[in-house]
Amino acid sequence: MTRAPSSRSSRRRLLSIGAASHSHGNVDAPQIVANVFEALGEVAVAPASSPIEAILIPLPSPDEIVDLVRAADSIRRLDPTVQLVAVVDQPPVSEIQAHVDFQVARPIDTKNILDLLDGRMTPTQAAPNDAVPEPTSDDRPIQPPASEISSSRDSWIPVTPDASEGGFGDTDLVEALLYSPKQMRERAVHIISQQTGITDLQLMESEAAGTAPVRFAGKTFGHLQAPNADGDELKPWANWLARWLALEDAQSTLRQMAYRDELTGAWNRRYLNHFLSESIEESKRLRRQLTVMVFDIDDFKSFNDHFGHDAGDIILRETIRLLGSVIRNGDRVCRIGGDEFAVVFADLEAPRSTGSTHPDSVEKIARRFQAQIGRMRFPRLGLQAPGTLSVSGGLASYPWDASDPAGLLHAADQRALESKRRGKNFLTIGPGASFTREDDAPPSPTGPPA
């Protein structure tokens, strides 16, 4: 799975998992990390101006192929742009071929690795067995800085066991980090308990007597507390936990950046596809309905043309802020392009009030939003009069209109186009999102709010 040469920053950053024999020439040596977990941490917190370009992963013996594959796959999930170089005795090793970008033989030459990444050298040329002489007493392998391998009680914690040994371990934390972040803290605290035998261990928000602060890089993530342990006993584990939570924090930021629209703060189309698919599956399982609304701002181009794009940005942000104030916690607002948005009314929680049904709740929310948009004012733009802004959209529901994300969005989009054809400030509403309670008088399927 060799890829094109990296287009990353010219500041070349390589990581090497574990100390290895390197010849560097006139280039900087790779940064040494002790294990894959430290490598994941470095990738997660690397700034855009200084990204990790490649990671060298050693294969000490054929018996450790599974460990190399797990390490490679974990790094790939965190950042698919990092190139992975397996360091082996005799390449190629067929079992790892699909999981790494390159395989090179020991000993390795850093300059040749960079040439390999840039496409100027083939993997077989990158590290011939006689490329670098064996290190002498004056030419020892580069070791990690003392701060990274210190065995002091405050900074070092032994590697935790994995689940095969009867409990959770670091591998479980990586999986939680990648697939179920909400379980991350609970698992980490459980690991500390199983390693130390400390019972009733808790991660508290506030500091108290006997607690140990969970702090890393100037940020405090909480305080470890247990009735049968003091702060000094908990301190090394608090330091260990802090690094995992810093990694969790960085990963959360990356997820937000990947799924959020930078201008409005709404979710983006990538998130919409993911969330809508999951919501439909959940609706099928619970036998509940789900509604999607697609809408855009009427004559939005004229606002941009008359007041400038900065004014248009203000209108977009204020529109999403208003919509966020009327939808429910389980609903999602997504920007799908320009001034076009989609709202997923998942409605998988119980209705807010007794007797309230999904259809009338969704329609009321949509029409309330439509009405409030018409009352918005923009003093900064000189738009004081109500009625300056309006939206038109369409609503489609599972299972009436479609049973898959693409079909549901298409139905809602077609109804939004129908609203546009009828004029401004219209909602076209499908059968699944119309009023159903007999004591409510249903409005026309199309038309502005009263």
Render pLDDT for 387-413 as a digit per residue (tens, 0 to 9).
Answer: 578 899 999 999 899 989 999 999 999
Query: Is residue 328 a contact partner of residue 352, using CB atoms and an 8 Å limit?
Result: yes
CATH of domain 269-433: 3.30.70.270
The contacts of residue 328 (CB under 8 Å, 6+ apart) are: 345, 347, 349, 352, 365
Distances in whole angstroms, Cα of residue 375 to Cα of each of 316, 342, 395: 15, 21, 22
Nearest Cα to Cα of residue 36 among 195, 174, 215 = 174
CATH 3.30.70.270 residue spans of the chain: 269-433
CATH 2.60.40 for the 14-149 domain, yes or no: no
State the span(s) of the chain assigned CATH 3.40.50: 14-149
Beta-strand pair 290-297/340-345: antiparallel
Write phi, then psi, for 100 (nearest 5 degrees).
-130, 165
Query: Cα-Cα-Cα-Cα dihedral of 189, 193, 199, 203, to 10°?
Result: -20
Q: DSSP code of 333?
A: E
| pLDDT over threshold 80, residue 378 | no
**131-190 confidence digits (pLDDT tens):** 333 333 343 333 333 333 333 333 333 344 444 444 556 777 887 777 778 788 888 898
Question: Which residue do the tokens 């999951």 mark?
Answer: 278
Helix (H, G, I), strand (E, B) or coil at 79: coil
Question: If you average pLDDT over every residue of the chain, what do you get?
Answer: 76
pLDDT beyond 70 at 212: yes
| Contact indicator for 382, 362 with CB cutoff of 8 Å | no
Cα gap 383→20, rounded to integer Å: 66
Identify residue 70 by its one-letter amino acid code. R
pLDDT of residue 382: 63
Element (H, E) at 32: strand 31-33
Q: Report the largest interatomic distance among the alpha carbons of the chain, rounded to a whole angstrom.
A: 90
Of the pLDDT bands very low, low, confident and very high (cuts 50, 70, 90), residue 380 is: low
